[in-house]
Structure 1
Amino acid sequence: MTFLAFLFLLTVVPAGSARSRHPPMAAISSPVFGPRQVHGVRGGSVTVRCFYPPTPANRHDRKYWCRQRGSACLTLLSSDFVAAAYQGRATLTDHPEQEQFQIHISGLEPGDAGTFQCGLGVNGRGLSFRVTLSVAEAPPVPEDAELFYVKLRSTWTVTCSFGEGTAEMRKYLCKKEKDGCRKVIDSYQDEDPTGRLQLTFESPPGSFRVTMTRMDWEDAGLYYCGAGEYGKDSTSKELDVFVYEDKNFPHLKTNITAKTGSSATFECLYEPLLNSSTRFWCKQKGRHCVRIIDSTGRVEDTYEGRVAAFENPENKTVTIVLNQLRDKDKGSYWCMSNELREQQSSTELTVVPGEPALTGKKKVEAQVGSQVNLTCCYPCAYSSYEKFWCRWSSRGCAMLPALPPGLPQPGDGCDRSARTVVLSLGPLREEDEGWYWCGVKRNGAFVETMAVELRVSAGRDAKLSPEFLDVDSSHDPGAAPPGGAGSEAEVRKGAAPESSSSDESHGSNTLALVLGPLAGLILIVVTAFAIVRYRQLKRSDLVSVGSYRTNISMSDFESVRDFSGSSSVKESQETPMGGDEFITTTDTPDSAANTMKAKRSSKEDADLAYSSFLATSSSIAQASSGGDSAVRDVSPPQDRV
Structure 2
Amino acid sequence: MILLAFLFLLSSLPAGSGRLRHLPKAAISSPVFGPRQVHGVLGGSVTVKCFYPATPANRHARKYWCRQVGSRCTTVVSTEYVAPAYQGRISLSDHPEAENFQLNISALVLEDAGTFQCGLGVNGKGLSHGVTLSVAKAPPVPEAAELFYVKLRSTWSVSCSFGEDTAAQRRYLCKKEKDGCRNIINSYQEIDPDFQGRALLTFEEPPGSFSVTMTQMDWEDTGLYYCGAGEYGKEGKSKELDVFVYEDKNFPQLKTTVTGKNGSSATFECLYDPLKKSSTRIWCKWRLQGCDKIIDNSGFVKFGYEGRVAMFENPENQTVTIILNQLQAKDEGFYWCLSNELKEQQSSTELKVVKGEPALTGKKKVEAPAGSRVNLTCSYPCKYSSYEKYWCRWNYTGCAVLPAQEQGLPEPGASCDTATRTAVLSFEALQEDDEGWYWCGVKRNGILGETMAVELRVSSGSDAKHSPELLDLDSSRELGAVPPGGAYSDAEVRKGDLPESSSSDESHGSNTVALVLGPLAGLILIAVTAFAIVKYRQLKRSDLVSVGSYRTNISMSDFENVRDLSASNRVKESQETPMGGDEFITTTDTQESEADTMKAKRSSKEDAELTYSSFLVTSERIAQGSSGGDNAVLDVSPPQDQL
Q: Fold-level match, TM-score > 0.5?
A: yes
1:505 matched to 2:574? The reply is no
CA contact (8 A) 1:481 1:487 kept: no
Residue 419 of structure 1, aligned match among 405, 411, 421: 421
Separation in 1, partners of 2:338, 2:43: 44
SS at match of 1:57: helix
Task: Please give the alpha-carbon distance, in whole angstroms, between the structure 2 residues aligned to 1:179 and 1:384.
Answer: 58
Matches within 5 A, 1:279-298: 279-298=281-300
1:197 equivalenced with 2:199 (yes/no): yes
Give the conservation status (yes or no) of the 8 Å contact 1:41–1:135. yes
Counterpart of 1:125? Answer: 125
Deviation at 1:103, TM superposition (A): 1.4
Q: Secondary structure at the match of 2:406?
A: coil
- 1:539 — aligned with what? none
Query: Structure 1 residues 315, 5: closer, same or farther in 2, change over 3 A?
Result: farther
Letter in 1 for 2:79: S
Residue 330 of structure 2: SS of its match in structure 1? Answer: helix
Q: Tell me how far 1:407 sits from its aligned partner.
A: 7.4
Q: Deviations over 1:36-91 (max 9, x none)?
A: 00111122221111111122222222222222233222222222333333333322
- How far apart are 1:144 and its partner, in Å? 0.4
- Hey, what does 1:320 align to over in structure 2? 322
Which range is displaced more, 78-87 or 116-125?
Answer: 78-87
Q: 1:488 aligns with which of 557, 581, 590?
A: 557
Counterparts in 2 of 1:333 and 1:402: CA distance versus 1, 3 Å = same
Cα distance in 2 for residues equivalent to 1:43 and 1:478? 106
- Aligned twin of 1:135: 135
Give the whole-Å Cα distance in 2 for the aligned partners of 1:105 and 1:371: 81
Which aligned pairs between 1:565-604 and structure 2 lie closer than 5 A? Answer: none
Q: Separation in 2 of the partners of 1:58 and 1:315?
A: 26
Flag the 1:175–1:512 CA change in 2: closer, same or farther, 3 A. closer
Following superposition, the deviation at residue 513 of structure 1 comes to 8.4
SS at match of 1:302: coil
Q: Does 1:380 align with 2:382?
A: yes
Alpha-carbon contact 2:183-2:191 (below 8 Å) kept: no
Q: Which amino acid aligns with 1:435?
A: W
* Contact persistence 1:77–1:91 (CA under 8 A): yes
Q: Scaled by the length of structure 1, what TM-score is found?
A: 0.71
Q: What is the rounded CA distance, in whole Å, between the counterparts of 1:12 and 1:153 in structure 2?
A: 32
Distance 2:450 2:11 in 1: 43
Q: 1:19 to 1:258 in 2, by over 3 A?
A: farther
Map of 1:202-601 to 2, 5 A cutoff?
202-406=204-408, 417=419, 419-460=421-462, 479-481=536-538, 487-490=556-559, 499=593, 501-509=596-604
SS in 2 for 1:165: helix
Question: How do 1:64-213 and structure 2 match up within 5 A?
Answer: 64-189=64-189, 193=193, 194-213=196-215
Give 2:40's aligned residue.
40
Shift of 1:300: 1.0
Compared CA separation, residues 60 and 378, structure 1 to 2 (3 A): same
Native 8 Å contact 1:371 1:493 kept in 2: no
Could you tell me how far 1:320 is from its partner in structure 2? Answer: 1.1
Contact 2:431 2:458 in 1 (8 A): yes
| 1:372–1:130 Cα change, 3 Å | same
Would you say the 8 A contact 1:191–1:287 is kept in 2?
Answer: no
Displacement after TM superposition at 1:209 (Å): 0.8
Residue 2 of structure 1, CA deviation? 6.3
Q: What is the deviation of 1:120?
A: 1.3
Q: Any conservation in 2 of the 1:118–1:128 contact (CA below 8 Å)?
A: yes
Amino acid at match of 1:51: F
Partners of 1:484 and 1:225 lie apart in 2 by 72
Describe the SS at the equivalent of 1:328: helix
Q: 1:107 Cα deviation (Å)?
A: 2.3
Contact 1:407 1:416 in 2 (8 A): no
Post-superposition offset of 1:332: 1.4
SS at match of 2:142: coil
8 Å CA contact retained: 2:184, 2:192: no
Cα contact 2:197–2:287 (8 A) shared by 1: no
Larger Rg: 1
| Equivalent-residue separation in structure 1 for 2:217 and 2:155 (angstroms) | 6
* Greater mean alpha carbon deviation, residues 190-199 or residues 328-337: 190-199
Report the CA distance shift for 1:179/1:416 in structure 2 as closer, same or farther (over 3 A): closer
1:506 alignment partner, SS class: helix
Q: Secondary structure at the match of 1:303?
A: coil
1:127-173 CA distance string (max 9 Å, x none): 11111111111111000011111111111111111111111011111
User: SS in structure 2 opposite 1:392?
Assistant: strand
- Deviation of 1:283 after TM superposition, in Å, equals 0.8
Determine if contact 2:334/2:351 at 8 Å carries over to the other structure: yes
Distance 1:477 1:136 in 2: 107
1: distance between equivalents of 2:611 and 2:306? 56
1:515–1:230 CA distance, 2 compared to 1 (3 A): closer
Displacement of 1:294:
0.9
Look up the SS of the partner of 2:316 in the other structure.
Answer: coil
Q: Summarize the Cα distance change of 1:318–1:484 in structure 2 as closer, same or farther, 3 Å threshold.
A: closer
Closer/same/farther in 2, CA of residues 372 and 82 from structure 1, 3 Å limit: farther
- How far 1:321 sits from its partner (Å)? 0.8
Instruction: Compare 97-106 and 442-451 and name the one that shifted more.
Output: 442-451
State how far apart, in whole Å, the 1-side matches of 2:296 and 2:212 are.
21
- The DSSP-based 3-state class of the residue aligned with 1:505 is helix
The structure-2 alpha-carbon separation of the partners of 1:285 and 1:482, relative to structure 1 and needing over 3 Å to count, comes to closer
- Distance of 1:406 and 1:133 partners within structure 2: 76
CA drift of 1:318 comes to: 1.2
Give distance in 2, aligned partners of 1:40 and 1:72.
Answer: 24
Supply the AA of the counterpart residue of 1:223. Y
Q: Distance in 1 between matches of 2:12 and 2:350?
A: 28
CA contact (8 A) 2:166 2:229 kept: yes
Question: Structure 1 pair 367/221, CA: closer, same or farther in 2 (3 Å)?
Answer: same
TM-superposed deviation, 1:261: 0.5
Q: Name the SS for the 1:404 alignment partner.
A: strand
Show structure 2 runs of 5+ residues with no match.
Answer: 411-416, 465-531, 543-554, 571-591, 618-643
- Compared CA separation, residues 82 and 295, structure 1 to 2 (3 A): farther
CA distance in 2, matches of 1:400, 1:136: 73
CA deviation profile, 1:176-214 (whole Å, cap 9, x unmatched): 111111111111125664211111111111111111112
In structure 2, the residue matched to 1:618 is none
Contact 2:406 2:421 survives alignment (8 Å): no
Q: Which whole-Å deviations, capped at 9, do the CAs of 1:213-246 have from their partners, x for residues lacking one?
A: 1211111111111111111125111111111111
2:581 is matched with which residue?
Answer: none
Tell me how far 1:502 sits from its aligned partner. 3.9
Shift of 1:490: 4.7
Partner amino acid, structure 2, of 1:59: R
Cross-structure match for 1:588: none
Query: What is the CA-CA distance between 1:418 and the residue it aligns to?
Result: 6.2
Paired amino acid for 1:178: K
Question: Counterparts of 1:232 and 1:482 in 2: how far apart (Å)?
Answer: 82
